[in-house]
Every structure is written in C-alpha cells, then in structure tokens.
A and B are shown apart, each in its own frame.
Chain A
C-alpha cells in the first residue's frame, strides 16, 4: 500500500472524524485551530489597524514600524510559543499561545495599514483637505478606503502566518490540527502525521482563497480598475527579441 493510499485511508476513515473516548477527531481539531487563529487575528487587528492608520496618517514613527516588522521576521515562532507557555505556565497555555500569535500578527497588520495609508496619492489627500474635510474625514473617507487593498492583503498574510504558527501550538500540549502531526510523529504513525499535514495545508489554502475573494469583493471598483489597466498595458508591450 503506497503512502498516498495510507493517507487517503486515514482521511476517509470515519473514526478519525469523530471525537471518541477523549481522542479528538478532525472537526474538533479544526475548530480549535480556527478558534486560536480567529481570536488572535481579531485582537491583533484591533490593536494594529488603528495604530497603523494613525502612524500612516501623521507619518510619525514610520521608520520604527519598518524596523520592528523586519526584526520580528527573524524571531522563530516555535521559540516564542515555548517561551511564553513555559513562562506563564501550562494552565494558561491557551492565553500564552494567543499572546504569541497576536505578537506575530501585529507587525504584519501594522506594516500593511501603515504603508497602505502612507502610499495613498498625496494629491487626493490634499484635494480632500482643500474641500474642507477634517483630518478624521480624510482618514475615514479617503485614506482608509484607498488603503483597503493593502490592509486586506496584510490581514490575509497575518491570518496565514497565524494559521501556520497555530499548527505548532500542539508542541506546547494544545490542540489544533498540528496535534495529528505531533501525535503521529510520537507514535511513529506516518499516515496520521501526513494526513495532519494535508489538513493544515488544505486549511491554509482554503483560507487564502476565501480572503482573496473577500479582498476582491470589498475593494472599491475604482481601485480595482487600476490593476486591470496595468495588466492590459503589460500585455500590450511589444515582445521584441
């Protein structure tokens, strides 16, 4: 029996899809994974988007944002998770993991919001100011709608990073889909391990596609046109040589 068949068998075995005798099935692990992810992204968005918008609007502290984001990319997620869980204790493991995930999502969202607001055409902002808009109106009616593609892009990449890191939460004895990989590894059951990996990858891809779709739906049609014009210009370029 090939590995593919083993993984297929594991994934289609109904026993693995229900929680029996305290052994969690796929739906419960998926629920945990989504719970960790959703909570962390929500908290991070509440912190980072207003802050990023403020920094982008005033232009103050932009270099700090860029520096913080770059240095966070170097931080190993596993280390952050382990350290926080050990420092706070296993009884607070869920809180510790949530904090770690929020810490990873904040820089991504902050950078996206900041650069989105910062890169809004200054002429549009000046025109809005000339029309007598208050600073709040400029932020809410001009800068944020124009920055929406970048902000949503940041939400997407932050969510995916959190999904990836949440799959490591199983290392610190929490749930989530990573549990199958860790348990499978501990029990030397490669079918369970690989099935867990397939589920994690599937979840990431589905979420990516959903958020890309959402991004396309919410972004103002005026901003959408710009990209299509660029692609048309690209294809119109004569291919010489």
Chain B
C-alpha cells in the first residue's frame, strides 16, 4: 500500500483529468446527437443513412480512431483534443440510434393527443416526446459514460490517458509496480461505477412517472409482453 499512500495527490489529479477527458465528450456528444436523433426519427432517408454510418463509426477500435483524429481534424498528434474528439464520435454514434429509437417508441396516440392539445412540433418535442424518451436516453448516456471512462486509458498509448498513465508506467518500471497498475485500474472502475450510479439517479429524478414500475430487468420484459399481446 506504500506506493498508493505516497501518491494520493497524483492519483486524485489524474482522476480529475480522467473524468474531464471522458465526460466532456459525453456532454458534447449528447448535445450533438439530440438534433441528429430527431432528424433520424423524422425522415426515413436520414435514418437509413445515419444508423448504419454510426454503427460503422462505433466499430472502429479506439486506438485506431485516436490515431486517425489528427488526420481528420488537422490537430497535433499528442493533443488531448484527439482523444476527446474520438470519444465524442463514439458517444454520438451510440446516442443517435438510441434517441431515434426512443422517439420512434413514443406511441402515436400520445403524439396525436399532444398535437390536438395545440402543441407545435418544437414544443411537442421538448414537452412530450423528449421526456418520454428520457429512460432510453439515460440508458444510452450511461453506456457512453462508462465505456468512455474505460477507453480514456487506451489514450495513454498516444500519451493522453488520465489514470491510464499509471497502467503503462507501472508496467514499464522494473520490477513492475503492481500496486500502481492495480490502483489505476481500480480507480477507473470506481469512477465508472460512481458516474453510472449518479446518472441512474438523475434518470430516476427526471422521470418520476416511471417509478411505480418494479425492477428494471422485470419491467423491460413485462412491457415487451404487453406489446406482444
């Protein structure tokens, strides 16, 4: 434990960097994917293009995307913006689809009722369709946040990696510093779990009407069964 106790300030500073590298892309990605998801839901042609394209973007391995970013953006190779831009791409690729699906899942009768009550397109989107899409949206944001937090560590290979530094540095010292590596891994997992938990709580707070439903796993299956009947 000695190494860990001696390096608490370093670990905390790296945790801050790590969160910043992982979560700014989540926020930017969310802001970008809301209009894109809306467009994908509104026009079939847009959906037919955007869903496969985002699927392909999502398949590009992180190491490759980090390295290709300077090629696409004209940035410097070791610029932290490469990692953040790549993680934004992943977030958008993940969320566009889930937003489009969530909006498509809003029952047509609800949309028509809102229109009948006098909502115009924009007002109806923010007051009716978006709130109903929040559970799916939160699920997507949670996946994006957790996987971004774990992917930042890969960025250390090109020199930008928050807590990833301890993983590679601990491996390069001889003999390998297992405490350093394990501390890095553990902090990344803990950060991911904390952020995931906070997002789950935020999702619950935003959707008070879903709280009557029991457990999420059971709820999903039950709502599916209802649709089938």
**Chain A interface category by residue count:** 35 or more
Find out whether the CB atom of A82 lies under 8 angstroms from the CB atom of B171: yes
Residues of A within 8 A of B121 (CB): 241
Bound complex: CA A190 to CA B70 (Å): 10
Mostly helix, strand, loop or mixed at chain B's interface? Answer: helix
Inter-subunit contact A74/B149 (CB<8 Å): yes
A65-79: CB near B (< 8 Å → 1, else 0) gives 010001101111111
B157 to chain A: closest residue by CB? A171
A contacts with B: majority SS: helix
For chain B, residues 31 to 81, give those with C-beta under 8 angstroms from any C-beta of chain A. Answer: 42, 44, 55-56, 59-68, 70-71, 77
A240 interface residue (CB < 8 Å to B)? yes
CB distance from A28 to the nearest CB of B (A): 19
Known interface pairs A118-B221, A181-B67; A201-B156 also in contact (CB < 8 Å): no
Q: How far is the CA of A228 from the CA of B84 in the complex (A)?
A: 37
Within the complex, which residue of B65, B153, B157, B158 is in contact with A201, where a contact is CB–CB below 8 Å? B65
Find residues 4-40 in chain B having any chain A CB closer than 8 Å to their own CB.
none
Binds B, one of A43-51, A136-144, A161-169, A214-222: A161-169
Residues in B lying within 8 Å of A, measured CB to CB? 42, 44, 55-56, 59-68, 70-71, 77, 104, 108, 111-112, 115, 120-121, 124, 143, 146-147, 149-151, 153-154, 156-158, 164, 167-168, 170-171, 176, 178, 181-182, 184-185, 188-189, 192-193, 196, 217, 221, 224-225, 228
Chain A residues with a Cβ under 8 A of chain B:
3-4, 7, 62-63, 66, 70-71, 73-80, 82-83, 86-87, 118-119, 121-123, 160, 163-165, 167-168, 171-172, 178, 181-182, 185, 190, 193-194, 196-198, 200-201, 204-205, 208, 234-235, 237, 239-241
Identify 6 new A-B residue pairs, CB closer than 8 A, beyond the known A82-B167, A121-B228: A78-B154, A79-B188, A80-B185, A181-B67, A197-B67, A234-B104
